[in-house]
Chains A and B, each alone.
Chain A
Amino acid sequence: DQQVKQNSPSLSVQEGRISILNCDYTNSMFDYFLWYKKYPAEGPTFLISISSIKDKNEDGRFTVFLNKSAKHLSLHIVPSQPGDSAVYFCAASPRNRDDKIIFGKGTRLHILP
């Protein structure tokens, strides 16, 4: 039973356009959410996070939106660049369990020239 779900295994977006990656979660105890980016043969790298007390967090080209009532979050990348081609993992951490991060299966993003 996947507690963090990324239902799109892959996504292709034209360079310069907006990339939107979606994530749903089922556990209402999650109160902190993260996005990680992974290139082949490398470990995941932290991209951006959001606490459940917020509904938006922005860092440069990356914005994460959180809809708690729908148990849904999304990562927006604008404008998309070739170096953004990677696998993106959505992850969540339960309240009072700061050490534990639950990852989704990932979405492979292809930026097309």
Chain B
Amino acid sequence: GAGVSQTPSNKVTEKGKYVELRCDPISGHTALYWYRQSLGQGPEFLIYFQGTGAADDSGLPNDRFFAVRPEGSVSTLKIQRTERGDSAVYLCASSFTSGRGGEQFFGPGTRLTVL
């Protein structure tokens, strides 16, 4: 069975550019999460979707970051006017249900480097 997949695995971009990071969750999982892991840190919560809607986007650092999940499956994290400080591994996770009953399964992440 396929796990959570993320594309691309690596993305190098220049400061000021726009990037999109894609997450394909496990089929049937209704909850989807984005995290960011900077060097030497643990994953940091960004946003959580239940179905198509963003149930909690309190972790997005500023309005340059936006995420969508239009059909309740694939999600795209969009970063505008990238800055060097955005360099990190962006992790996606999905779960069958939200809350304590739903174990989060993580993808391998997208390593974003902003030059």
Closest A residue to B91 by beta carbon equals A43
Query: What A residues does B50 contact at CB under 8 A?
Result: 99
Interface: B99 (CB within 8 A): yes
Interface: A17 (CB within 8 A): no
Closest B residue to A104 by beta carbon equals B42
Name which of A4, A32, A99 has the most chain B CB atoms within 10 A of its CB.
A99
Contact B106 A44 (CB under 8 A): yes
* Of B4, B40, B41, B45, the contact of A101 (CB 8 Å cutoff): B45
Query: What B residues does A49 contact at CB under 8 A?
Result: 100
Closest B residue to A101 by beta carbon equals B45
Closest A residue to B35 by beta carbon equals A103
Contact B106 A99 (CB under 8 A): no
Known: A43-B107, A43-B109. A105 touches B48 (CB 8 A): no
Interface: B103 (CB within 8 A): yes
Closest B residue to A90 by beta carbon equals B42
* Of A4, A43, A101, A105, the contact of B108 (CB 8 Å cutoff): A43
Closest B residue to A32 by beta carbon equals B100
Per the bound structure, the CA–CA distance linking A74 and B103 in Å amounts to 20
Per the bound structure, the CA–CA distance linking A98 and B41 in Å amounts to 22
Q: What are 11 A-B pairs with beta-carbon distances under 8 A?
A: A43-B93, A43-B106, A44-B43, A46-B105, A89-B43, A99-B31, A99-B50, A99-B56, A101-B45, A102-B45, A105-B40
